[in-house]
Structure 1
């Protein structure tokens, strides 16, 4: 479970290092955003990651009507339909890094997931 958190924190650390590298030539989207916005975006992602973490037990029911206890996201366990960890929010945060070493396909969330809505992401690999 912590592998996804570790993976994302590692990616954010790399992003921070890239943003702070003076030899980087910020062209295209980077020059439009600027370093300040990129640093703020990384900080917000870290805050989201801190809020969404495994912690609560969720009870689901198997086909025989027997309870199954699973770990749910503490932030997403507020309704009668809790999300099993890793929740869709954290899986979506990982999606831009799907082409990086260490990304696991089991973390991929379909972009037409019923709780996500339909969206098209330019440059993303097909699910």
Structure 2
């Protein structure tokens, strides 16, 4: 799971690098889309932070499995990128 977290954070950083210049650009429609994409990156990072916090607490096995499944689901949009592993599919 640690490999997935590292890889997914790298994908989010790449998304952020790709969208940040557009968010400050002149076209309103593109700017709105870029802001939404950056908000998605932020939301996904927050979910990963919740996962990190949950690893230091005792969770019921079902709750732990749900957390792992959620993190795997976050990685699905990036399944076509290099480094994605089929074992990460939810």
The TM-score by the shorter chain falls in which range?
0.7 to 0.9
Gaps of 5+ in 1: 23-29, 57-73, 110-127
Instruction: Return the alpha-carbon distance in structure 2 between the equivalents of residues 8 and 39 of structure 1.
Output: 15
Instruction: Return the alpha-carbon distance in structure 2 between the equivalents of residues 14 and 41 of structure 1.
Output: 13
The DSSP-based 3-state class of the residue aligned with 2:12 is helix
In the alignment of these two chains, the number of paired residues is 83
Instruction: Return the alpha-carbon distance in structure 1 between the equivalents of residues 67 and 87 of structure 2.
Output: 10
State the shift of 1:21 in Å. 3.4
The structure where helix makes up a greater share of residues is 2
Correspondence 1:57-72 to 2 at 5 A: none
Q: Which residue of 2 aligns with 1:44?
A: 43
Structure whose CA Rg is larger: 1
Q: Normalization by structure 1: what TM-score?
A: 0.55
Gaps of 5+ in 2: 23-28
Q: Normalization by structure 2: what TM-score?
A: 0.74
2:83 paired with 1:106: no
Alignment CA distance shift 1:38-1:83 (3 Å):
same
Instruction: Return the alpha-carbon distance in structure 2 between the equivalents of residues 102 and 34 of structure 1.
Output: 27
Alignment CA distance shift 1:107-1:86 (3 Å):
farther
The structure where strand makes up a greater share of residues is 1
CA-based RMSD: 2.8
Q: Which residue of 1 aligns with 2:25?
A: none
